[in-house]
Amino acid sequence: MELSAFPGFLFIVFDRFTVLAVFFTVFALAVDFMKRRKKCRNYPPGPWGLPFIGNIHQVDLNNPHPSFAKLWKKYGDVVGVQFGWTNTVILNGYETLKEALVKKSEDFADRPHLPMYQYMMKTAGDGIAFAKYGQWWKEQRRFAILTLRNFGVGKKSSEMRIVEEAGFLNKELEDQKGLPFDPNFLLTCATSNIICSTVFGERFEYNDKKFLALLHVLEESFLLEGAIWGQMKHIPKTSFLESKMIGTILNLFAGGTETSSTTLRWALLYMMIHPNLQSKVHDEIDRVIGKERKPTLEDREEMPYTNAVIHETQRFGNVAPLSLPHQTYRDTEIMGYTIPKGTMIIPNLTSAMFDENIWSTPHQFNPGHFLNPEGQLVKQEAFIPFSAGRRVCPGEQLARAELFLFFTSMLQRFTFHLPVNEPTPSYTEAKFGITLTPLPYRLCAKLR
């Protein structure tokens, strides 16, 4: 090839490359458009997404619920977004959540296919928390609730387990001798032992190696390894497979350990930061229970202020800000908008717990939210820390009992205060995962 012809050759090569590049770009954008286009009219409004990533850039993935609050204010109670190619609808406000999760509970009862949950189900077997909605889920949920009742949940035997464990927890707190410590480990051990005693029939010492290994597994998102999972044989026409039942048990450990221990961590933090409120709890405990008798669930009716503090801890602590994602089981409508079958749904529980139209001081820790002028406990319809509808937490009754008995037992014996010469921990910052946990902090537990 003559040198004079070389530039022309380069022009032809680059020209073809440009054409191919343009073709593949247009093709990719067309595929992206087809993947992300709305498949129905009257779809909920929302921000315009970028190709391929959708609206991911508009959400702080490390702290998503404040981002959703901004979208709520701008687009309304029902917001349509896209995470990659996944059409997602965010439900905001108590009335919207009630219509979807309660009034149309079956329409919104499904679960989406998410990589993290799929891996958990692959390694540990399906559990009722993440399973798809259908006959299998109905059978297993009924079985789980019935089994929990048969094992004593809601009965005196379950209450006695919690009271007994509260005694062990108080002994561990006393052993700290008033010195600063992080309460996370002890609270996790105590709440996890309730599930252990229910499922295994025995509790574990807080230094037991098997127990600590179990807690480590929970902390590592229950990622179990081993050949046993591949050896499970499938039995047709039944949902009662060993792997699936193990998955459900792990769900119970997750719900029964993480959420309760996190709520108690928030509770001790709030009591430490608000010593005047802690004094009111102490006064009510001394008046109703005294300093010697152990608390019982029957005391709840006579302790409205303590109960209000626990409720406000759940509201303000916002432990499950987005619940778990749902998916529409069929084509449906919500607040006048059409949502196709298979759409991922995010129930923004935060929007109900901090709704300025419902709570007098939503951004303050205020037990008065749950008390009437006479000081009696009042039910707030928008208080849904355990979600609502068909996917409501099956361990709600057990969790409520744990929170009252553990909290009351600790406050009966101890005053919690800030360590000397240490900065006041933040109660507005938190770490987001499946739950919203306080940042690590230390406290001192002084015997009363």
SS3 label, residue 359? coil
Question: Is there a domain that residue 138 lies in?
Answer: yes
Looking at the DSSP assignment, which residues form a beta bridge with residue 79? 90
Q: Which residue has the higher pLDDT, 158 or 35?
A: 158
Backbone angles phi, psi at 376, to 5 degrees: -90, 150
Q: DSSP letter string over 197-258? A: HHHTS----TT-HHHHHHHHHHHTTT---STHHHHPPP-TT-S--HHHHHHHHHHHHIIIII
pLDDT of residue 59: 86
The whole-number pLDDT of residue 191 equals: 93
How far apart are alpha carbons 40 and 37 in whole angstroms?
Answer: 9
Q: Are 323 and 384 in contact (CB under 8 A)?
A: no
Do 108 and 101 meet the contact criterion of CB atoms below 8 Å apart? yes
Q: Which amino acid is at 262?
A: T
Of 391, 323, 326, the residue nearest 138 (C-alpha): 391
**Mean of all residue pLDDT scores within the chain:** 84
Which is higher by pLDDT, 1 or 196? 196
pLDDT (tens digit, 9 = 90+) per residue, 282-334? 999 999 999 999 999 999 999 999 999 999 999 999 999 999 899 999 999 99
Is 312 inside any structural domain? yes
Q: What is the mean pLDDT of residues 57-73?
A: 87
Per-residue pLDDT band for 27 (boundaries 50, 70, 90) equals: very low
Which tokens in the block code for residue 50? Answer: 């970028």
345 belongs to a structural domain? no
Cβ neighbours around 4 below 10 Å, total: 7
Which residues make Cβ contacts (< 8 Å) with residue 114, sequence separation at least 6?
325
CA distance 124 to 247: 5
* Type and span of the H or E element at 192: helix 184-199
pLDDT for 227 equals 30
Q: Given the DSSP bridges, would you call strands 332-334 and 337-339 parallel, antiparallel or unpaired?
A: antiparallel
pLDDT of 105: 95
Q: What percent of the chain has pLDDT over 70?
A: 81
Expressed as residue numbers, the domain containing 141 is: 125-318+354-447
Span 165-194, mean pLDDT?
95
**CA 113-199-324 angle, 5° bins:** 25
The DSSP call for residue 444 is E
State the average pLDDT over residues 363-369: 96
The answer as to whether 282 is a domain residue is yes
* 3-class secondary-structure state, position 69: helix
User: pLDDT value at position 117?
Assistant: 57
Q: Could you tell me the pLDDT band of residue 230, with boundaries at 50, 70 and 90?
A: very low
**Pairing of the two strands 86-91 and 344-347:** parallel
pTM comes to 0.85
Please state, in angstroms and rounded to a whole number, the distance separating the CA atoms of residues 350 and 67: 11
Within-domain flag for 82: no
Task: Enumerate residues 6+ apart whose C-beta is below 8 A from 321.
Answer: 65, 348, 349, 350, 432, 436
* Domain count for the chain: 1
Percent of the chain with pLDDT over 90: 55
Region of 218 on the Ramachandran plot (φ > 0 left; ψ -120 to 50 alpha; else beta): alpha
Q: Rounded to 5 degrees, what angle do the CA atoms 237, 242, 244 make? A: 75
Q: How far, in Å, CA of 249 to CA of 246, rounded?
A: 5
**Residue in the block written with tokens 């039995």:** 235
8, part of any domain? no
User: Residue 99: its pLDDT value, please?
Assistant: 96
Contact by Cβ (8 Å): 117, 127: no
Look at 85-89, 241-245, 389-393 and tell me which has the smallest mean pLDDT.
241-245
Report the C-alpha gap between 230 and 124 in whole angstroms.
Answer: 11
Q: Residue 52: how many CA atoms within 13 Å on its side-chain side?
A: 5
Q: How far apart are CA 88 and CA 90, in angstroms?
A: 7
- Which has the higher per-residue pLDDT, 196 or 400? 400
**What pLDDT does 402 receive?**
95
Q: For residue 14, name the pLDDT band (cuts at 50, 70, 90).
A: low
Nearest to 68 by CA among 273, 352, 283: 352
Cα 100 to the center of its chain, rounded Å = 18
Q: How confident is the model at residue 113 (pLDDT cuts 50, 70, 90)?
A: confident
Is the per-residue pLDDT at 337 higher than 70? yes
Residue 305 forms part of a structural domain: yes
Mean pLDDT is lowest, of 124-133, 182-191, 303-312, 335-344, for 124-133
Higher-confidence position of 7 and 96: 96
Hey, which of 38-52, 207-221, 366-380, 389-403 has the most confident mean pLDDT? 366-380
Compute the distance between CA of residue 260 and CA of residue 430 in angstroms, rounded to an integer.
Answer: 16
**Helical (H) or strand (E) element with 88:** strand 86-91
Contact 61, 116 (CB under 8 A): no
CATH number, domain at 155? 1.10.630.10
Specify the DSSP class assigned to residue 126. Answer: -
Q: What is the mean pLDDT of residues 16-22?
A: 57
Written as six digits, the tokens of 331 are 């084509």
Q: Write the pLDDT tens digit of every residue in 140-173.
A: 888 888 877 777 777 788 899 999 999 999 999 9
Q: CA gyration radius for the chain?
A: 26
The verdict on residue 367 lying in a domain is yes
What stretches of 298-425 show up as alpha helix (H) in DSSP?
304-317, 349-353, 396-413
